[in-house]
Structure 1
Amino acid sequence: MKCIFLTGTAGSGKSNLTGILSNWYQQEGKDVITVNLDPGVSDVPYGIDVDIRNYINLKDIMDKYNLGPNGSLILASDLIATKLEQIEEEIDEYNPDYVFIDTPGQIELFAYRKSGPYFIKNISNEANVNLFLFDATLVSDPSNFLSIALLASSIKLRLEIPQISILTKKDLITDNQDRILKWSDDFSELLDDLKEGGEAYDFTSRMAETVLESNIIDELIPTSTVDNEGIVEVIASISRIIDRGE
């Protein structure tokens, strides 16, 4: 069993990509299931096989602990780790080759609290990979690109598994795509564009150098879930990591 986790900022397209990738694998005759780890999601564009909402109910948490929406989401995310055994048992019943795991919309609830790293380290499988999504509508600005790149670095540090960087919603930034890809390929291009930030340049340039040294973005793969452009490249990258290129 091989696990593909999808992470990224809220609205970056994790659920859409989960649906497209899992469907592609299924059409190729692979044994695939999907897992939803977002206790607060209301609807997703794919059929969920294993759903954290069957084990953790936000309304029950709000009523029992007298919490608001944010507090209940935090507690619900912490409780994910306590449900690992039940989730694994349900996954094992399917006996899949690949498991696509759609993580919570609020990335901090999964990556920065103990439950996310614990889940990844303790789930029984052969290999893991994390797909980190760069939302094209957010990273078309150089300072935003740098911020999300730093976030990607932090997520890789926290989860401690191989990571693939994916640019989503490329269909919405036709004019800026080449610029964004230049930033990921050559940070001197990013530094040049950051100079327009004036007083903040010294700070942002140091941050950019940190990202460059971390080599976090080996390749930024542009994708669109509208026409599935870039999906083949994503699948090839996944294969190189968890299937040894098969």
Structure 2
Amino acid sequence: MTRFAQLVMGPAGSGKSTYCSNMVKHCEVLGRTVHVVNLDPAAEQFDYPVLADVRELIHIDDAMEDEALQFGPNGGLIFCMEYLVQNLDWLREQLDDVEDDYIIFDCPGQIELYTHIPAMKQLVEALQNWNFRVCGVFLIDSQFMIEASKFTSGVLTALSTMVNMEITHVNILTKLDLLSKKAKKDLDRYLDPDMETLLQEEFMDEKFSHRFKKLNQAVAKLVDDYSLVKFLPLDITDEESINDILLQIDLAIQYGDELEPREPRDPEDLDPAEENVDSGYDQGE
């Protein structure tokens, strides 16, 4: 049986847990059952129900307080994720108890885990062996992405994650609801960017050292020529924004291809919140 998963990644503070919470609530409106697994051993709180919590297996305090290990926060987090990979039977037991086939994994915010440390890649390979179709969902805070130099840094981080994870991938700019009106007007330039143009404008304003001009132009040309990185906007106050992202992810992992179209419901039976977000999938419930 094919199962489906979102692997929610991104830097600390990019809104991963908020994304998971709102995606669960949105799916409830659609009549879809979605479960969340917390994979962050340093998580302090979240407002969604969890199917499984890695802190029941290992907590970051276990690594930091162990006198033999004496890890700091970063080393402790890496140790915890490597420990999880060494004990994947625990995770499989948690997932095997669930009949529903759509799982969202809320991952830690340490970017090294996605760019050059193999633990998350090994987790993905295990999920694929368990018949999951996995979509990487990489979140970046839009408030730090409205200048060309910062945007370039974010693009390279997303690209590094895409290359390392080797899975279907969706990049998202989060926290649009917190942007100023002026920033929102400029945002379209960054959703489907012309990198060379963005950097050239910044060079003209002399915000960027000309020593790095050729290097950045080469990187920008690479991203532009191969259309490697694009972003979807997320405004958690806008149900249509959340639904657009869910549809993109569903298409990426071919969710719904094997489901029967459900019978149209009488408009009088619809909850007002459902009228504009009905997904058209039969969940067999």
Q: Deviations over 1:57-95 (max 9, x none)?
A: 222222322223332222112212112221111111012
Structure 1 portions without partners, runs of 5+? none
Match for 2:192: what amino acid?
Answer: D
Instruction: Give the aligned partner of residue 62 of structure 2.
Output: 60
Structure 2 portions without partners, runs of 5+? 258-285
User: What TM-score comes out, normalization by structure 1 length?
Assistant: 0.91
User: Considering only aligned residues, what root-mean-square deviation do their CA atoms show, in Å?
Assistant: 1.9
Instruction: Give the aligned partner of residue 234 of structure 2.
Output: 223
Alignment partner of 1:87 out of 86, 91, 95: 91
Counterpart CA distance in 2 for 1:212 and 1:126 is 31
SS of equivalent to 1:12: coil
- Structure 1 range deviating more: 73-82 or 33-42: 73-82
Q: Deviations over 1:7-32 (max 9, x none)?
A: 11111111101111122223323232
Instruction: Give the aligned partner of residue 24 of structure 2.
Output: 22
Counterpart CA distance in 2 for 1:180 and 1:205 is 21
Spell out the pairing of 1:113-192 with structure 2 (5 A cutoff).
113-123=117-127, 124-173=130-179, 174-187=181-194, 188-192=196-200
Superposed displacement of residue 111, structure 1: 4.5
Contact 2:114 / 2:165 at 8 angstroms: preserved in 1?
Answer: no
Counterpart CA distance in 2 for 1:190 and 1:245 is 38
Q: Does 1:13 align with 2:20?
A: no
- Structure 1 range deviating more: 181-190 or 67-76: 181-190
Superposed displacement of residue 205, structure 1: 1.6
Superposed displacement of residue 122, structure 1: 1.1
Counterpart CA distance in 2 for 1:223 and 1:131 is 12
Counterpart CA distance in 2 for 1:153 and 1:202 is 20
Instruction: Give the aligned partner of residue 211 of structure 1.
Output: 223
- Structure 1 range deviating more: 188-197 or 52-61: 188-197
Counterpart CA distance in 1 for 2:107 and 2:171 is 16
SS of equivalent to 2:17: helix
Superposed displacement of residue 35, structure 1: 0.7
Superposed displacement of residue 97, structure 1: 1.4
Identity of aligned residues (%): 28
Superposed displacement of residue 49, structure 1: 1.4
Counterpart CA distance in 1 for 2:243 and 2:56 is 33
Superposed displacement of residue 238, structure 1: 1.1
Superposed displacement of residue 110, structure 1: 4.5
Contact 1:79 / 1:115 at 8 angstroms: preserved in 2?
Answer: no
SS of equivalent to 1:175: helix
Contact 2:17 / 2:106 at 8 angstroms: preserved in 1?
Answer: yes
Contact 1:131 / 1:165 at 8 angstroms: preserved in 2?
Answer: yes
Counterpart CA distance in 1 for 2:191 and 2:177 is 18
Counterpart CA distance in 2 for 1:142 and 1:182 is 10
Q: Deviations over 1:125-154 (max 9, x none)?
A: 341111111211111111010111011111
Instruction: Give the aligned partner of residue 279 of structure 2.
Output: none
Moved over 3 A (4+): 226-229
Contact 2:38 / 2:50 at 8 angstroms: preserved in 1?
Answer: yes
Contact 1:194 / 1:205 at 8 angstroms: preserved in 2?
Answer: no
User: What TM-score comes out, normalization by structure 2 length?
Assistant: 0.79
Instruction: Give the aligned partner of residue 282 of structure 2.
Output: none
Counterpart CA distance in 2 for 1:244 and 1:66 is 44
